[in-house]
Chains A and B, each alone.
Chain A
């Protein structure tokens, strides 16, 4: 193991937000260990060096700037507009972490004023955000919210000066090369095209009718479990695609189909290949997959 470097000086700044990433971060059961390696110059809820008012006055240098929430030039914190506050802090930091889908792409709050609200580097899929020219020092942790372990992983990589391989939206590949579908407990039902009859059962795949976006959403939700124990799909909820720039889509609990085939394919799978396999899989009746997984609970 490398020797222990000095504590990283971190600023947590919020744009237009619900505080969801803040509370997701506080769920980290290893928070104490993480706090041994970082010093919060500012954090909205944890004890820190500067209050928001002091932060806005001093505009200190930092090692990492974590930005939570969507960006709007005129949105103010402690009387200072994001246009200057975010820009100044961004210029004076070494690394920027875009925490959550609002900061990354605009997210839900973009919907209220699409013209003026965006992410910090990306505005949906376009790299037209205010920090686009600084994109090389930005790591995107999209998700609504982002998982606390995704953040602590990124901080550790920065701390030990390890290069982070990223995708086109600057999301760490080690976290986002997976699909939410990977590790889903219902994978076998997907393989054999057995759909879930309705919500509230352990059986069947949610991709065919209930709107699950797991096969085309990047994220390690079923590898690095939520709150250490579960995920949306493990609790029978369809993936809503919250890590993607397209979030939030519409009609989130219904699968759009074309000729009764899901209109969006698993990533990288040509429709012809999908149809060939689906046709074959559907022609068999696998009794085990058509029965209840557990007969009763008594």
Chain B
């Protein structure tokens, strides 16, 4: 039997086409995204700096990631044009702080608005508004705005640095907010300290954690989906250190092996607007799990050895990343050298003709912006979003990451829940 399931309460919507057997188990699943906005075409012909305003509007929840990818792309174009461009350590640190804030608020919203909500609903609970989670997300965004001016849709990062010139007052305010966020994660999300959390991952005892994360895991266990959702076990991180991991072996990744495949799109007789992103011709998973595994972070690496790439580890990796990002933001805030320049003016963009590539790690994985610039104007612009890696629609012999994870689920509802563990974003996928 074939069922078309509209998946709501993600960023936008997706349609899943399920083929089920008599028992209702999922034998095949296709992922479709039906909305398209043409962001790349909007950018063509514009001044390259305008992209700093346009690209954040690709996505309401990860627009800041797009800003940082754009600015890195333009800076790369400067360098490729043979023009030196310098960024102070301070500006680099501030960019990392605001980018990390976006990841933290994203992960909190996903845990509460999506996973706790949906798994609770399947347990027969009446969902309520996760006000405490939304409040703390708004605080994380406030921390970001102390530097970026606003969240969402800031344009404060420019080739050469950042536009803000913070004082100790902003840094102190940021540290106070960060303490509140850390307390929320300890008291509400985990129900224990980060150290106890890490030990629980190493000892395979995350199910007994008392916080809301533990509740999600226990919901998954009762639904018998905790160790389902296995995919290819291939992981890719391109943003920080480029690493591809397959069959448990880590290799440095080569950007030249990245390709886009549009064979499933409407343009070519398919049923979706989303293009697939491939590495070496194959689907690779990106995001918090990939980042933790390629960095061999304790806790997640231990859990992976036990469970493989199943639901429990995707859930754990996103939560573990919240914890590690808070520690990273604290370290960056306390070591900021405010006497350094925020911005070192580069030569005018009109003097630049070159190609540029900007790759960063966004909430859902590696985000790639690539453009050709001619005398400061954008000739062509291409964006590969993280969800194109994870939510690609493959063929029977080459299944996409989430597609493979859903096949074999006992029911459509369970397959849909597995789908959501990938932190689905429709607006980014099609842009």
Contact = CB atoms under 8 A, between A and B. Distances in A.
Interface of A: 14, 16-24, 26-29, 31-32, 35, 44-47, 51-53, 75-78, 108-109, 111-113, 144-145, 198-202, 226-237, 240, 242, 248, 250-254, 294, 296-298
Given A46-B129, A201-B342, A23 B54 contact: no
A142 B83 CA distance: 39
Question: What 3 pairs across the A-B complex have the smallest Cβ distances?
Answer: A200-B343, A235-B149, A19-B60
Given A52-B8, A199-B158, A200-B162, A144 B148 contact: no
B47 A250 contact: yes
Interface string B17-39: 00000000000000000110111
Nearest to B131: A32
A248 B153 CA distance: 13
- Most chain B CB within a 10 A radius of its CB, from A22, A29, A44, A237: A237
A85 B129 CA distance: 26
A108 B42 contact: yes
Contact of B168 (A45, A248, A297): A297
Interface in B96-113: 109, 113
B167 A18 contact: no
27 contacts: A17-B427, A19-B59, A20-B57, A20-B59, A20-B152, A20-B153, A24-B152, A26-B134, A27-B137, A35-B131, A44-B9, A46-B113, A111-B42, A113-B38, A199-B163, A199-B342, A226-B150, A227-B141, A236-B164, A236-B165, A236-B342, A237-B155, A248-B50, A248-B54, A250-B47, A251-B50, A294-B167
A8 B283 CA distance: 47
B186 interface: no
B142 A229 contact: yes
Interface residues of B, number: 70
Contacts of A226: 145, 149-151
Contacts of B128: 47
Contact of B345 (A17, A28, A198): A198
A187 B154 CA distance: 21
B173 A229 contact: yes
A276 B153 CA distance: 37
B8 A227 contact: no
- Most chain B CB within a 10 A radius of its CB, from A29, A198, A227, A232: A227
B173 to A, nearest CB: 7
Nearest to B137: A26
- Most chain B CB within a 10 A radius of its CB, from A19, A108, A202, A228: A19
B400 interface: no
Nearest to B150: A226
Given A44-B9, A250-B50, A227 B145 contact: yes
B37 A112 contact: yes
Nearest to A52: B8
Contacts of B347: none
A230 B149 contact: yes
B111 to A, nearest CB: 13
B150 A227 contact: yes
A247 to B, nearest CB: 9
Contacts of B207: none
A112 B49 CA distance: 19
A297 B156 CA distance: 21
Contact of A251 (B8, B47, B147): B47
B54 A18 contact: no
A252 B47 CA distance: 8
A15 B17 CA distance: 23
B142 A22 contact: no
Nearest to A202: B165
Contact of A236 (B52, B163, B167): B163
Interface of B: 6, 8-9, 11-13, 34-35, 37-39, 41-42, 46-47, 49-50, 52-54, 57-61, 63, 91, 109, 113, 117, 127-129, 131, 134-135, 137-138, 141-142, 144-156, 158, 160-165, 167-168, 173, 338-339, 341-343, 345, 427
Contacts of B341: 200
A19 B11 contact: yes
A82 to B, nearest CB: 12
Given A145-B152, A251-B47, A253-B52, A26 B57 contact: no
Contact of A28 (B53, B127, B138, B148): B138
Given A21-B60, A27-B137, A47-B127, 12 more contacts: A19-B61, A27-B142, A28-B138, A31-B135, A45-B113, A53-B8, A112-B37, A112-B39, A198-B343, A232-B155, A235-B154, A294-B167
Contacts of B155: 232, 237, 240, 252
Given A78-B6, A78-B13, A237-B155, A252 B50 contact: yes
- Most chain B CB within a 10 A radius of its CB, from A201, A228, A234, A253: A253
A238 B38 CA distance: 26
A31 B134 contact: yes
A234 B59 CA distance: 24
B8 A144 contact: no
A167 B427 CA distance: 32
A218 B126 CA distance: 43
A47 B47 contact: no
Contacts of B47: 250-254
Contacts of B127: 47
A51 B117 CA distance: 14
- Most chain B CB within a 10 A radius of its CB, from A18, A23, A31, A248: A18
Given A17-B427, A201-B165, A35 B60 contact: no
A297 B167 contact: yes
- Most chain B CB within a 10 A radius of its CB, from A32, A250, A297: A297
A197 to B, nearest CB: 8
Contact of B150 (A113, A232, A297): A232
Contact of A18 (B59, B141, B338): B59
Given A108-B57, A232-B155, A200 B135 contact: no
Contacts of A198: 343, 345
A57 to B, nearest CB: 12
Contacts of B137: 26-27
B377 to A, nearest CB: 10
B53 A29 contact: no
B158 A253 contact: yes
Contacts of A31: 129, 131, 134-135, 138
A237 B149 contact: yes
Nearest to B13: A52
Nearest to A26: B134
